[in-house]
Amino acid sequence: MFSKKPTETSNHLADPTAPVADSAINAIQSTRRLVDDTLDGLAGSVQDLQKQTAPMLSRVGEQASALASRGAAAVRDGSQQLREKAVHASDSTIGYIKDEPVKAMLIAAATGAALMAMLSLLTRSRD
C-alpha cells in the first residue's frame, strides 16, 4: 500500500471500469493468439493435405492417359478387324459371282424385287 503512488490509487478509485477494461483487453489478446495459432495449424494441415494429394492426382492423370491410349488402340484394332472382314466378304462375294454367275444374278434380282415391294408398301401406308 505504501509502494503505490497516491495518484495511481486515486486513478483506480476514480475509474471503476479500469479492471474490466484490462480484463477485456487481455481476453481479446488471448482470443487473437488462439485464432492465430488455429489459423497456423489449419494452414499447416492444408499444406500437408496438398502434399499428400499431389502424387495421387498425378497417378490418376497417368492412369487416365493410359486408359485413353488403350481405348484408342482398341478402336484402331477393331476398325482394322472390321476392314479385314469387309475385304474378306467382298472377296467371297466376287468369288461366288465368278463361280455361279446365273445364280448370283437371280439372287440380286429377287433381292431388288423384295426391296421394291417393301418400299411400295411403306409409301402406300403414308397416303
CA distance 123 to 127: 7
Inside any domain, residue 51: yes
The position carrying cell 497417368 is: 62
Q: Encode the chain (127 residues) as per-residue pLDDT tens digits.
A: 445 454 444 444 456 667 777 888 888 888 998 888 888 888 888 888 888 888 888 888 899 999 999 999 999 999 999 999 999 999 999 999 999 999 999 999 999 999 999 999 988 866 5
Inside any domain, residue 1: no
* Total number of domains constituting the chain: 1
- Predicted TM-score of the model (pTM): 0.43
Inside any domain, residue 93: yes
Domain that holds residue 86: 6-126
Whether residue 12 contacts residue 18, with contact meaning beta carbons closer than 8 Å, is answered with yes
The position carrying cell 484394332 is: 77
CA distance 8 to 86: 107
Inside any domain, residue 53: yes
Report CA-CA distances (Å) from 60 to 36, 47, 53.
36, 20, 10
